[in-house]
Amino acid sequence: MLPTTVRVSGGEFLYREDNMDNHIRLFNLIAPFYNLFFKMQTKNYRTLIEKNIDKIDISEDAQILDLGSGTGAFGYCWQEKGYEVKGVEASPNMYKRCLSNGVDCEKIDITEGLPFADNSFELVTAAYLIHGLTEEKRRILYKETKRVASEYVIYHDYHQNDYLLIKIIEFLEGGDYFDFVKNVPEEFGEYFEDFKIVKNSPWNSWYIFKIH
């Protein structure tokens, strides 16, 4: 069984709109629209997993933690491969759609820490998550993912590129995209000793970290 999460007073995590940070509030608002792209996302992620899965060595019954799951597309594709997947999502509306798309998910703000024991999951993943976090929150994420992963961490995210449309979208989103792409991969080196970068397209890469 997957590691269980800590629940407040035995109940679900509760969110009030006025307590959300701006990034979570935005994704809570766009969740219905975002879900329209679920099939397209899963098609792309399936291709990437098939292409790159030989770059990691995890057991057939590996437990995977997918951070910032959104509608669950990335976790869903790992689940299709037979792995047991636990999603984590802070936006209540994204969380609901992740569940409706068949991925087990918990409502957790990862930047407040993960309620899982050390080395709980063979693989921890995050797709298009870290570029939207401030540097302070990214560093919390790096520490927590390294702590709960026993074998590998994979971040699917942007690298430096010249695509104007991406820059416009990320500017409107209000995340920390520009600082992130400027400081990758040096930023990772402060937390992970063994990592490689697999370029998947002109604008994104898999950052794969081996946990020792």
* CATH code, 26: 3.40.50.150
- Closest Cα partner for 6 from 149, 106, 90, 102? 106
Residue 141 lies in a domain: yes
Residue with tokens 């993912």: 145
Domain residues for 63?
19-48+59-210
Q: For 206, left (φ over 0), alpha (ψ -120 to 50), or beta?
A: beta
For position 33, what pLDDT does the model report? 85
Strand, helix or coil for residue 70: coil
Residues 19 and 25: their CA atoms lie apart, in Å, by 9
Q: Which DSSP category does 3 fall into?
A: P
Residue 7 maps to a domain = no
In a domain, 10, yes or no: no
How far is it, in rounded angstroms, from Cα 78 to Cα 156?
13
Whole-number pLDDT of residue 12: 42
Domain assignment present for residue 13? The answer is: no
pLDDT tens for the 212 residues of the chain, in order: 444 333 333 334 333 444 457 767 777 877 888 889 999 999 999 999 999 999 999 999 999 999 999 999 999 999 999 999 999 999 999 999 999 999 999 999 988 899 999 999 999 999 999 998 999 999 999 999 999 999 999 999 999 888 888 889 888 877 788 988 888 888 998 999 899 999 999 999 999 999 98
pLDDT for position 20: 57
Q: What distance in Å separates the CA atoms of residue 123 and residue 145, rounded to the nearest whole number?
A: 9
> Residue 11 falls within a domain, yes or no?
no
Q: What is the three-class DSSP state of 126?
A: strand
Residue 186 maps to a domain: yes
Q: Do the strands 149-158 and 105-107 form a parallel or antiparallel pair, or are they unpaired?
A: unpaired
Number of folded domains that form the chain: 1
Sequence-ordered list of residues with C-beta below 8 angstroms from that of 26, at least 6 positions apart, any chain: 173, 174
The pTM for the full model equals 0.85
pLDDT tens across 82-121, in order? 999 999 999 999 999 999 999 999 999 988 899 999 999 9
* Residue 12 falls inside a structural domain: no
The answer to the question of residue 9 being in a domain is: no
